[in-house]
Amino acid sequence: EQLPDSFEKLFFTDCRCADNASKAYEELFAKLDTNKDGKVDVSELKAGLDAMGIKAEKGAAQKIISSGDRNKDEGLDFSEFSKYLKEHEKKLQLTFKSLDKNKDGRIDITEIRQSLADLGLEISKEHAEKILQSIDVDGTMTVDWNEWREHFLFNPATNLQEIVRYWKHSTVLDIGDSLTIPDEFTEEEKTTGLWWKQLSAGAVAGAVSRTGTAPLDRMKVFMQVHASTTNKISLVSGFKQMLKEGGVASLWRGNGINVMKIAPETAIKFMAYEQYKKLLSSEPGKVKSHERFMAGSLAGATAQTAIYPMEVMKTRMTLRKTGQYSGMFDCAKKVLKNEGVKAFYKGYIPNILGIIPYAGIDLAVYESLKNFWLSHYAKDTANPGVLVLLGCGTISSTCGQLASYPLALIRTRMQAQASVEGSEQLPMNLMVKKIMKKEGFFGLYRGILPNFMKVIPAVSISYVVYEYMRSGLGIQK
């Protein structure tokens, strides 16, 4: 748990002149323990914050007590109190060391800018100077460990930790496509093991989100494969057709394998991303924006290559008729027997090509929206709030989908070719020509309406479930 801003101010102000950490903890504890019962409870902590003129954020005192209270007696004794502060100071040291790139015990402008760039945030030299000046006590334009520990807080709108925490382009907002750049984790998250908890929370959120929007996803695939100028399928007629053929349960066909592929794909993508970053970085420990994009795209391609047979199976299971397959393994056995191994990689090329426009536009739009908000609205805080973050994530993902949708449609049709009666087995280039000739440019966007319709409910469901999972796994909000 991270100390709330107000308590950090209290702790580091009181410890500024103390060489002995234990003595500083004792003095602070004595000051807060007003009834001298050897325990600091919520009311005492609130009163202590007020008495020192520190405006505590809502729930700050309760958060501190809950985090440090090992014996669950609704208060902190001295050992719990000092242990809590010691653990927090270790995290501060870890952050300081990760910023101190050249290991000289001081942080300068170049290191501030590089650390932000490593986390996907490009700032000007002037901006970096502003950050340093807010911490630098002795006017050297560098920050040593004591200055870092004593101050810790940046000015609200230039707080490195805040901006990165709030604006990290997270892939937990699952909209059913898996072409996004993987999550970026800080050194602290990797060291403390928070990364796997966040990935697990994201996987569960994605599973619930995809299950909730599965009928719209099936409709999208149905329209991508079967709709044409001669066979016009509307949302209403499409759903009627599905219900008539297989009942309500048929609306969730293909969802099982769609959910199953989340975990392996997420794990492979994350591990590959970390390796590609090391291989592509021009300087050890430094990753530039274009190198991050390349590493993310290659990681996406690696993960897609590994799990692509599941993508083909998902399409076949989604389009299956009642009784066609008894289950996933039966589907795989029949595809292998009738079409051979190569059937499991049909549509692979347009799928891989789709990663570049999707990821590139998604990141570019998100960065633009983020920078616009920070430059125009970040007056008192770098926290844009849930609605702004969800809005930016939804818009950027939707723009990425819009750019890569024709390739997604070609991929789906190629995956489904052998299972559609009377369908020609065409390669990618001939299929594009055929669609353009018969249906025109908008023929490449068949099924995009149900695809867009599922974006908002998918994002909302995945966000809510992710927050509940984070809470359940003990990840700080």
Angle at 196 between CA 156 and CA 396, to 5 degrees: 55
Q: Please name the residue that has the structure tokens 């191994």.
A: 341
- CA 426 – CA 434 distance, rounded (Å): 9
Q: With cut-offs at 50, 70 and 90, classify the pLDDT of residue 278.
A: confident
- What percent of the chain shows pLDDT beyond 70? 77
155 neighbors 162 (Cβ within 8 angstroms): no
- Going from N- to C-terminal start, the domains of the chain cover 1-98, 100-154, 187-472
Name the nearest CA neighbour of 354 among 403, 285, 416, 395: 403
Pick 100-154's CATH classification: 2.40.50.140, 3.40.1350.10, 1.10.238.10, 3.90.1300.10: 1.10.238.10
Give the residue from 94, 151, 163 showing the smallest Cα distance to 127. Answer: 163
Q: Residue 22 CA to chain centroid, in angstroms? A: 39
Q: Measure the CA–CA gap between 124 and 122, rounded to whole angstroms.
A: 7
Intrachain domains 1-98 and 187-472 with the same fold = no
How large is the average pLDDT for residues 447-456? Answer: 90
Which class is 187-472 in CATH?
A: mainly alpha
Q: Please, which residues have CB within 8 angstroms of residue 340's CB and are 6 or more apart in sequence?
A: none
On whether the CB atoms of residues 308 and 345 are closer than 8 A, the answer is: yes
Higher pLDDT, 51 or 424: 424
pLDDT at 16 over 60: no
Q: Is the pTM of this model over 0.75?
A: no
Instruction: Classify domain 1-98 by CATH architecture.
Output: Orthogonal Bundle (1.10)
- Per-residue pLDDT tens digits for 364-420: 888 788 878 877 776 656 667 788 888 888 898 889 899 999 999 999 999 988 777
